[in-house]
Chains A and B, each alone.
Chain A
Amino acid sequence: MTTHLYCVLPNERRGELPTDLRGIEGARVRAMQVEGLVAWISDAERTLPVSIDGVRAHDAVVEAALETGATPVPARFGQEFASDEACRGALESYSEPVASLLADMQGFVEMTLILTPSTRRMLRDLEPALPAMIDPARPGAGHEYMESLRAREAATGTVRRSLDSLAQKLADATKAFVRRYAIHDQVTQLPLRTISHLVSRTDVANYKQAAFTVAATSELRFLVIGPRAPYSFCALGNSDTGLHGMKLAD
């Protein structure tokens, strides 16, 4: 039996755990007090594989915490603690920075913008320029591969420049409501852009309104996601990157 950590909340919210809130694999979520804060945790029967259902369940608990009116500091998915006491110990070892982070996040939420080409056709239009599976034994395969990389860069470069331009327009339109921002790494070859903003709860409607004054082009569109817990602004502990909530264990 291990302990799964979802998030932490200020201590004054200790009584606000919804009755019978269920987390990963249907486990009942419990509140555990730790030095001036409350951790929402549940039991896990075994090592949990990464799965879409698991991530959704984790996030649903964090969202329930957000709905208490306080802003939780979310834990990164997949951290296992051998017991409640091990989880408590990890949180106590970071009690000061966690408390500071919690205080810093109160009153704020995360909003996320996803910029993307408008249609599947536009993505498919880029496909011929993407490097195909090349038989390395074929004569000239190396040259062919380099040429395909060059062609892909030419095709996607135009889209990326358009994305940059749209991102700048959105940044200009929303800057009055943005306390901090985080740009998520672009790791696939597809032209997508994801930007997170930390916004006051009271400014969420204004933020959305400002974003939607920016007209998407015929080639690009954008989504506004949120309000959500501030995953992208809660770097803490053993975090190689601060974009995914606090990390206190492997």
Chain B
Amino acid sequence: MAPDDEEIDTEELVLGDLLNHVLDKGVVIGGTVTISVADIDLVVLDLRLLLSSVETAVRHNIDQTLNQLIPGRPST
């Protein structure tokens, strides 16, 4: 099976779902995990736009979590 034909990683989907369930800001984090699943830069853009409008997410150090998930990501 070619790399691009690989199934989307189940573990990452499950993690994204867990975050989405346990956090009320999980939509933001869930999007981040989806990025790492899909590896599509555009969703990073979408997420940054979303982040900029979610004050509570910033208050809860979502930015720090993003940095954990996306090494080398420039600070927002």
Residues of A within 8 A of B6 (CB): 119-120
Given known contacts A55-B23, A58-B22, A225-B17, is B38 in contact with A190 (CB within 8 Å)? yes
Name A52's contact: one of B4, B37, B65 (CB within 8 Å): B65
Given known contacts A119-B6, A120-B39, A130-B42, is B27 in contact with A55 (CB within 8 Å)? no
Q: Among B23, B31, B60, which residue has the most Cβ atoms of chain A within 10 A?
A: B23
Asked if B40 and A244 make an inter-chain contact with CB atoms under 8 angstroms apart, the answer reads no
A-B contact count (CB 8 A): 124
Asked if B19 and A185 make an inter-chain contact with CB atoms under 8 angstroms apart, the answer reads no
23 contacts between A and B (CB under 8 A): A49-B65, A50-B25, A50-B60, A50-B61, A50-B62, A51-B64, A52-B68, A52-B69, A55-B19, A76-B24, A112-B21, A114-B13, A116-B8, A119-B6, A120-B4, A120-B7, A124-B4, A127-B42, A133-B42, A188-B46, A194-B20, A244-B21, A245-B22
Instruction: Give the size category of A's interface with B.
Output: 35 or more
Any A CB within 8 A of the CB of B70: no
Asked if B21 and A50 make an inter-chain contact with CB atoms under 8 angstroms apart, the answer reads no
Name A127's contact: one of B18, B40, B45, B61 (CB within 8 Å): B40
Q: From DSSP, what is the main secondary structure of chain B's interface residues? A: helix
Name A120's contact: one of B3, B47, B60 (CB within 8 Å): B3
Asked if A114 and B68 make an inter-chain contact with CB atoms under 8 angstroms apart, the answer reads no
Interface residues of A in 78-130 (CB under 8 A from B): 78, 112, 114, 116-121, 123-124, 127, 130
Name B17's contact: one of A112, A123, A185 (CB within 8 Å): A112
Name A123's contact: one of B8, B20, B23, B62 (CB within 8 Å): B8
Complex Cα–Cα for A207 and B18 (A): 20
Q: Residues 137-155 of chain A: 1 if any B CB is under 8 Å from the residue's CB, otherwise 0? A: 0000000000000000000
